[in-house]
Amino acid sequence: MYRIVLIPLLLLILAVALIPLLADKEAILDIAASALYKQTGATLTVAGHTELTLFPTLGISLSDVAVVLDGQDHRDLQARSVKMGVQLLPLLKGNIEIDTVSLEGVIVRSESHTEEVGNGTRRTDIAADGLAALAVPLSLKVKRLLIIDARWEEIDSTGTVSTLLVLVKLQARNLNLEQSPIPIELQLMRPGKQPMALSLNGDFRINQHTQKINLDTIVMEISGVTAIPVQVQTSGIIDVSREVADIQLTFESGETHGTGSLHYADAESPRVDAVLQLNFFDKALLALAGSKAATAAGEVSTSTGWDKALPLNALRLIDTKAVLDIKSARFGDHTVNNLHVNLRALNGLIEVSDLTGNLYGGELAATATLDGRGDTASLKTRGSLTRLDIATALAATESARMLSGNATVNWQLGSRGRSTNELIAALNGPIKLTTENVALQGTSVEKSLCKAVALTNNESLTANFPANTRFETLFASIQVANGKATLNPLRAELPGIALNGSGNYNLVKQNFVAAFKGRLSEKLEQLDHACRVSKRLTAIDWPVNCAGSVGTEPASWCRVDTAKIVQDLTINEGLDKLEKKASKLFNKLFNRGG
């Protein structure tokens, strides 16, 4: 894009020669073409009209302008219209004061030329060209610079032309290098599968001696990247010579707003160092805008629903250090309060060295590393969630408040994959679940079992049982592998009852199966005399089978295998009778022997 500056430079030369040559437009073009070729080796052609004006400004207007660089077989720069005006009276005194520079319908086209950015990933640096385009108008103190409909195009080896960026409008007034305010208005568009638009208004000041740009107040709106447009207000300093920027910013998107600071250094690492504070975050804010967002984001349909390919190429472009503090962060049905994240991303390696927050009354502390430097990403994470309030967590998922108490989870997991579902399916590692003061609400398991025991004793219950069931122990050791979480052992204890079992949970399909064996003890008699447990009842396992999926009613998950109980009772009663007969026979033989 830097070649756009050739046009104002060319027209400055024209302005000096305008007075003696007003009647000879061909001579003007000859001088301009000769000066351009001498300084750049480029060839100027004007296929359209050439117009001269005298009042109120002395100016020239060209149409269908093309500038071709030496040795290139395609037009490098084209413009539908180029206009330039200078103040007439200052010119008569020997001073050049440029009033207006205007370009419309500009096309900057070049062969594919990009900058290497690690791991074979490339990017085109249009921003540097944009700064260069302003250099000449700034040095000439142009009172008004206007560029409308400028396009950056790239042509590949097959001759296919693609549009990289569209400058809808750029207007800047009172250009100078003496730190006087320069009002600017900018509208940009990035075409493609997921179009993006940026609008910008504000004032900036430039100090030629220090090579610094002061951003007084710049207001931007970015749309098309996310479902909700983002409004950003910035101020700060840009050091042009060092390519360093220190920016203070405030931003807003929907109900989210925040503040922060950003340090950018093109030649340093991290390239971006940011500290941000947000009042609220929802992962839906990151959703792409438009009906084709899923496809643009690399999402594909699978037998288990939508899956999203990991943006590994994009991750390799990131060289960032960030500290995030979010008052309330929502992830699906779950909200983490006072979330703090400290991360470092470099060439596809993302390290979260510190992640803390409050989740349903519990304290969250974790670390994680995502290595996306290869074709397949690897994930490692470890952490803990201490004293989570179970009832609050169930309420958040709109499940019945069947349980109360606290739970503590510790994990150490790893995975590999190229998409979200692949990472979930490949998770591997241990999870440990322990609980405190867990109670099953609205149900007395002891009363239900005691009723059954009392029937075997031909008696009725007389005691008052509590409305809830309080567990003395509830523990699970979980091993994650091959897309499943295996729960073994899964243990629960309450007065007079012990449950031991195992099960597994499908991480992708979110369904589970589990089987328990319950054992009764003589402690049940302490609850009610009619609940005396005979030897035949303590000798058998009470099978409980559970199966279901997330989102279904918990009441339908488990059932008692009564057929198995009857079978075990029959077998035990038969063995008991056999033992009694054997005992009698043994006694008789013993007595006879005596």
- Integer CA distances (angstroms), 208 to 2, 106, 139, 214, in order: 19, 28, 9, 11
Query: Can you say how many angstroms the Cα of residue 423 is from the centroid of all Cα atoms in its chain?
Result: 16
Q: Say how far apart CA 17 and CA 86 lie, in whole Å.
A: 12
pLDDT for 396: 75
Q: Are 270 and 319 in contact (CB under 8 A)?
A: yes
- What would the two tokens of residue 424 be? 């979930």
| Domains of the chain by residue range | 1-175, 386-564
Q: Are 469 and 445 in contact (CB under 8 A)?
A: yes
Q: What is the DSSP letter of 119?
A: T
Neighbours of 18 (CB within 10 A): 19
pLDDT for 48: 85
pLDDT for 40: 60
3-state DSSP assignment of residue 357 = strand
Q: Say how far apart CA 417 and CA 9 lie, in whole Å.
A: 54
> What type of residue is 390?
I
- pLDDT-above-90 percentage for the chain: 30
Over residues 41-46, mean pLDDT: 76
pLDDT for 383: 96
Between the two ends of the chain, the Cα-to-Cα distance in Å is 117
547 pLDDT more than 80: yes
46 pLDDT more than 70: yes
Confidence of residue 553 (pLDDT cuts 50, 70, 90): low
Over residues 36-40, mean pLDDT: 63
- What would the two tokens of residue 526 be? 């302490």
For tokens 């740009």, name the residue: 213
199 pLDDT more than 80: yes
Which region among 131-140, 284-293, 295-304, 324-333 has the lowest average model confidence (pLDDT)? 295-304
Strand segments, DSSP code E, in 362-470 are 362-371, 377-389, 403-417, 429-440, 469-470
Over residues 561-590, mean pLDDT: 49
Which region among 13-22, 260-269, 475-484 has the lowest average model confidence (pLDDT)? 13-22
pLDDT for 565: 54
pLDDT for 355: 96
Task: Output the DSSP codes for 455-516.
Answer: HHTT----SPPPSSEE-SEEEEEEEEETTEEEEEEEEEEETTEEEEEEEEEETTT-EEEEEE
pLDDT for 573: 47
For tokens 């073009």, name the residue: 29
Q: Are 308 and 420 in contact (CB under 8 A)?
A: yes
pLDDT for 224: 83
pLDDT for 569: 53
Q: Are 548 and 554 in contact (CB under 8 A)?
A: yes
The predicted-structure confidence for 207-246, as pLDDT tens digits, reads as follows 988 989 999 999 999 988 777 889 999 999 999 888 999 9
118 pLDDT more than 70: no
59 pLDDT more than 80: no
pLDDT for 1: 43
pLDDT for 299: 43
For tokens 């399909």, name the residue: 509
Q: Say how far apart CA 32 and CA 52 lie, in whole Å.
A: 14
Higher pLDDT, 381 or 504: 381
405 pLDDT more than 70: yes
Q: Say how far apart CA 441 and CA 394 lie, in whole Å.
A: 12
Whether residue 56 is preceded by a cis peptide bond, meaning omega within 30 degrees of 0, is yes
Q: Say how far apart CA 139 and CA 130 lie, in whole Å.
A: 15
Phi-psi map region of 294: left, alpha, beta (phi>0 left; psi -120 to 50 alpha): alpha
| Range picked from 108-112, 148-152, 222-226, 583-587 for highest mean pLDDT | 148-152
Looking at every residue in the chain, the average pLDDT score rounds to 78
- What would the two tokens of residue 414 be? 């790893």
> Exposure of 351 by Cβ count < 10 A (0-12 exposed, 13-18 middle, 19+ buried)?
middle
pLDDT for 233: 96
How would you label 483-500 residue by residue, b for 16+ Cβ within 10 Å and e otherwise? bbbebeebbbbbebbbbb
Task: Output the DSSP codes for 314-337.
Answer: HHTT-EEEEEEEEEEEEETTEEEE
3-state DSSP assignment of residue 347 = coil
The predicted-structure confidence for 437-448, as pLDDT tens digits, reads as follows 888 777 777 787
Task: Output the DSSP codes for 263-302.
Answer: EEETTSSSSEEEEEEES-EEGGGGSPPSTTHHHHTTEEEE
Task: Output the DSSP codes for 46-77.
Answer: E-S-EEEE-SSEEEEEEEEEEEE-TT-SS-SE
Neighbours of 44 (CB within 10 A): 22
Nearest 5°: phi and psi at 179?
70, 15
- pLDDT-above-70 percentage for the chain: 72
121 pLDDT more than 60: no
303 pLDDT more than 70: no
Name beta bridge partners: 283. none
Which region among 63-77, 457-471, 484-498 has the lowest average model confidence (pLDDT)? 63-77
> What type of residue is 328?
S
> Exposure of 503 by Cβ count < 10 A (0-12 exposed, 13-18 middle, 19+ buried)?
buried
Over residues 58-66, mean pLDDT: 80
Nearest 5°: phi and psi at 127?
-60, -40
Run of H or E residues at 166: strand 161-173
Confidence of residue 301 (pLDDT cuts 50, 70, 90): very low
pLDDT for 346: 95
pLDDT for 70: 62
- Integer CA distances (angstroms), 356 to 279, 336, 352, in order: 16, 9, 11
> Exposure of 511 by Cβ count < 10 A (0-12 exposed, 13-18 middle, 19+ buried)?
middle
115 pLDDT more than 60: no
Over residues 269-291, mean pLDDT: 77
Over residues 458-478, mean pLDDT: 85
Neighbours of 510 (CB within 10 A): 11
